[in-house]
Structure 1
Amino acid sequence: MRSDEPVGRNRMLDAIRGIAALAVVGYHLQGAAPFVPFVHGYAAVDVFFVLSGFVLATAKGEALASGGIGTGRFMAWRLARLMPMIWIGTLLGAAIMPIGTSHPDRAMMLAMGLLMIPMLSGSPPGNNAFPLAPAAWSLFAELVVNAAWPTLARRNDKSAVLAMAIGTGAILIIGGCLRFGDVDFGATPGSIGVGMGRAVFGFAAGIALQATRHRLPRLPSWVGYGLLVFDLMVPPPAIMGPWWDGVMTLFVAPTIVAASVNAVVGRPTQIIANLGTTLSYPLYATHGPIVASLGTALGSTTGDGLARTTAILGVLACCLGIAWCASRLERLIRRMAHRLAKAPRWHRIGGTTLNRGR
């Protein structure tokens, strides 16, 4: 990481996150645009989990271990970080998802989505646990892992607990790959339980990498980019079957982050990182409804390759534009919440107004 970078930010990791978010969008466009190269784009979610563990351990690990931050305060901070964009994505899905206003569970889907509660029964549209914002399943899984982390971080045997978490997550991932054929599980009511293994393993692996960050090699940035492209674009060899995804998730996803932590970055990475910092989370949280709505129309588009490519680029531009608007809206929500938190609290008692201060 360069010495002139903003304190607390790793520009290479920001760039990796931004490319991974684009890969998820590309993968979800596969049905309408089979030539989009991110055939393994769902693996980007596992990179997100590792990144999250590393970044959160860097930001809050010491404070949690020392008891300076309790579980309640930490989770309030995480909810404040994640929930506004989840609300935006869910409301967007309620407005544009091609479900039909007559669907009997539409109001229930909206309420559960806003409360971050997965739909585990019935027949949700698309067989998604979060039908209005399908990507929310991974954010739900991350919040569950986040809730358990503060208690584990204060244990004296934290290394053993971390190893146990990595091992448990790995077993769930291998079991899920053998059951479903690949690692693209977790979003449906029937797979969200085993999908927790992806969050447990990735988050714990990120924490382990953070603990050894000073011993990680200083590599050129192209190494991290190359590993990421390999992970997201190379189709699984038929001879390996479901084991390919297991190997990629358990070994390649953590290696991508390990190769990027101390990477030597230049101007191109700085530019990608700026976009990743601004748009990666909004793009991931809001693209589902857009792709579901516009992708259906795109799938029925006829015409030559140029016309189809232009239509695909239009869908991608729409996703990026709405992600940018969502980031502006989220910033406004945060600013308003901050002002409310800082404002004096006034209470009227018996006709007398008392300022309780802050």
Structure 2
Amino acid sequence: MKSHFLTLDGLRGVAALAVLLFHRRWYVPGGHFLDHAYLAVDFFFGLSGFVIAHAYEQRLQQGSISLLDFVFIRAIRLYPLLVVSGALGGMAWIILGRHEPAIFLATFCAMLGLPTPFPINVGEAASADTPFPINSPTWSLFFEMAINLLYASIVRFLTLPILSMLVALSFVWLVCVSLSSSTLGHQGVYYQLLLGGIPRTAFSFFVGVGIYRAAAAGRLPAMRFPVLGLALLLIIVFSPPSSNGIWNVYYDLLCITLVFPTILVLGYQNTPSARLEDAAALCGALSYPIYLLHYPFYVWYEEFSPLSRKSSIVAAAFLVPLITYCVLKWIDEPIRTALSRRLKSAQHRAIKPDLLEGR
């Protein structure tokens, strides 16, 4: 199996840009644009399961890296930008005069990727309903870090029957909570649906692990599909207008059980053309910074820019990729490189650089 998957990198970047636009879709004429882009996080969870299993499963099973090694490696990958995005998000409200202790607590929690222990109201009316009011997208990082830790802890015992049981149980749990609340997209995002984030994350993540294992064993048929067609398919999936009805839940379940696994299988098998390789690699590199930094950007732009709030979606589409590239090259990558060297030195062993890359 290949050591790197450029098509998956490119698709991750497309999904991150879709989330960026989704969070200000109401500024588009008609008020609807990529209404189902909230499903991008479910796509991310599946990608994470595939990529994490590909990078770490054999090493964890063989003991060439320990659970503590894994925790440090993932922290080095995820935390620099998590700290930066949380600090930027909180700083905006502090500058605006919000000096109550609750804001500092919410900022501290955002920098650690943790939920706030009680509702805190910041700018938007719905902010008090979410445990992640400073940087709302970090809800998925909280659950992703938790599922990564769980996976690394049990991977030596994760036989096919146990993996199948985890997929089945998480699916049943997710169906039950989604149908009872008439929403899948809000699971894990709000206090009252926070526990629903567990099956939402676990299902897609362990499906991704299963796809990796089937691919590594050569049990999946070879299928050809144009890479740009996969990107277009992802956008089409995100595009239908959303509603709060039960049919919306059925659509979401269809996407996470059939469509996204199919895109993942096709994505790892098909390679972009030489002309698209650099673009795919760049999309992959920028996907995580875009996902974490776009929300603080909206706060800063809408609170401090002299331009109309409605222009924020256009400004973000053009400026956030540029800003995130600078942050990636000048802050994130240098910090991760320095921390990786320290980790290797502290552990007195060689931890291969490829383990420190990829979300």
**Residue 259 (1) aligns with residue 266 (2):** yes
Structure 2 residue aligned with 1:195: 197
Aligned partner of 1:58 among 30, 33, 54? 54
Structure 1 residue aligned with 2:284: 277
Structure 2 residue aligned with 1:317: 318
**Residue 117 (1) aligns with residue 124 (2):** no
5+ long unaligned stretches in structure 2: 347-359
Alignment of 1:216-231 (within 5 A): 216=221, 217-231=223-237
Q: What is the CA-CA distance between 1:190 and the residue it aligns to?
A: 2.2
CA contact (8 A) 1:53 1:205 kept: yes
CA contact (8 A) 1:109 1:130 kept: yes
CA contact (8 A) 1:218 1:264 kept: no
Structure 2 residue aligned with 1:135: 137
Structure 1 residue aligned with 2:247: 240
Aligned partner of 2:152 among 138, 145, 150? 150
Residues 248, 343 of structure 1: alpha-carbon distance in 2 compared, 3 angstrom cutoff: closer
- C-alpha distance in structure 1 between counterparts of 2:340 and 2:258, whole Å: 40
Richer in helix (by share) = 2
Describe the SS at the equivalent of 2:308. Answer: coil
Q: What is the CA-CA distance between 1:117 and the residue it aligns to?
A: 2.2
Structure 2 residue aligned with 1:108: 105
Structure 1 residue aligned with 2:81: 85
Higher radius of gyration, 1 or 2: 1
Aligned partner of 1:18 among 8, 13, 26? 13
- C-alpha distance in structure 2 between counterparts of 1:291 and 1:277, whole Å: 22
Residues 341, 208 of structure 1: alpha-carbon distance in 2 compared, 3 angstrom cutoff: closer
Describe the SS at the equivalent of 2:60. Answer: helix
Count matched residues: 333
**Residue 71 (1) aligns with residue 72 (2):** no
Q: What is the CA-CA distance between 1:86 and the residue it aligns to?
A: 0.5
Q: What is the CA-CA distance between 1:293 and the residue it aligns to?
A: 4.1
Aligned partner of 2:297 among 290, 300, 311? 290
TM-score, L = length of structure 1 = 0.83
Residues 12, 204 of structure 1: alpha-carbon distance in 2 compared, 3 angstrom cutoff: same
Residues 111, 312 of structure 1: alpha-carbon distance in 2 compared, 3 angstrom cutoff: closer
Describe the SS at the equivalent of 1:154. Answer: helix
Identity rate, percent: 26
Describe the SS at the equivalent of 2:27. Answer: coil
5+ long unaligned stretches in structure 1: 2-6, 303-307, 345-358
The alignment's C-alpha RMSD in Å is 2.8
- Structure number with the bigger relative contact order (C-alpha 8 A, sep ≥ 6) is 2
